[in-house]
Amino acid sequence: MQRRLAAGLALLFAGAIAAGPAASGVRAAGATVTIPGDAYMPAAVTIDAGQTVTWINKDTDPHVSTTVPGTPAAFTLVHQAGKVVSHKFTKPGIYPYYCLDHATFNTALRRVQARKEADEFPIAMEGLIVVKGPGLTGAPGVAVKIGADGYAPDVAAVRAGGKVTWVNDDRTEHTAIFVKAGAPKLTLAPGKSASATFAKPGIYFFYDERFATYNSKYGLAAAKKGAPHFPIAMQGYVVVL
């Protein structure tokens, strides 16, 4: 890996009826995230308030992790090459974060995007931490609007048994593809909507296959060339509490 300088500002559905197996979620004493290069593995983890996330940097380069604006409690952590860093989370909430060295935060779209020099470009070095606890209950239902710039919100939190409705406000067809086997594919024509009910708690990743491809190694999507806001991938999460 080539050394880079940090800069600037430090991001299921089980089906239409019931949710299936969750994506990467970790509980118990906390969670461990490995940094093998310009990526976090797993990309998304779940812990309880008062627990710790530990990052193990197996890369030969340092990394700097920071939260996106608006998280319950901001953090910025320096990961030296070959070192271990831990952070205790005391405030329940949802914490999207990214690496300052290899990604930037687009304030207009409120999305993380990969730097061109990142090894995994166009996949952004970003992650998601869900901290469960009082005050984080999830809504009975959430509407996700689809536009040319992506899903809004791109992280939808619902309680178990809650419903998420995708509404296509764009002029072109979009999809919401869930990565677990057996999960139906949602295809939405312009002006149309589709809903799904989530029965099982967990973190569920989805993306638009028209404008992105799924990378199973990193658990994230890569924007296709020609996508409206390349290199920002059209992807999102459903967090079921």
Tens of pLDDT along 37-90? 999 999 999 999 999 999 999 999 999 999 999 999 999 999 999 999 999 999
What's the pLDDT band for 19 if we cut at 50, 70, 90?
very low
d(CA 198, CA 161) in angstroms, rounded, equals 5
pLDDT of residue 205 exceeding 60: yes
pLDDT, position 88: 98
Residue 94 pLDDT > 50, yes or no?
yes
State the pLDDT confidence band at 230, using cuts at 50, 70 and 90.
Answer: very high
Contact, 74 vs 57, CB < 8 A? no
183 falls in which pLDDT band (50, 70, 90)? low
Question: How large a percentage of the chain has pLDDT more than 70?
Answer: 87
Give the domain 30-132 fold.
Immunoglobulin-like (2.60.40)
Banded pLDDT at 24 (limits 50, 70, 90) = very low
Residue 190 clears pLDDT 80, i.e. is over it = yes
- CB atoms near residue 16 (< 10 Å): 12
Residues 128/94, Cβ–Cβ less than 8 Å: yes
Fold equal for 30-132 and 139-240: yes
Least confident segment among 37-41, 137-141, 146-150: 146-150
Residue 182, pLDDT score:
55
- At 4-15, the pLDDT tens digits run 333 332 223 233
| Residues 6 or more apart in contact with residue 188 via CB below 8 angstroms | 146, 166, 167, 168, 173, 174, 175, 176, 194
User: Could you tell me the residue ranges of all domains in the chain?
Assistant: 30-132, 139-240
With beta carbons less than 8 A apart as the criterion, state whether 161 and 142 touch: no
H/E element holding 188? strand 186-188
Residue 142 sits at the vertex; the CA angle it makes with 140 and 145, to the nearest 5 degrees, is 170
Q: Quote the CA–CA distance of 1 and 108 in Å, as a whole number.
A: 30
Q: Which CATH superfamily is domain 139-240 in?
A: Cupredoxins -  blue copper proteins (2.60.40.420)
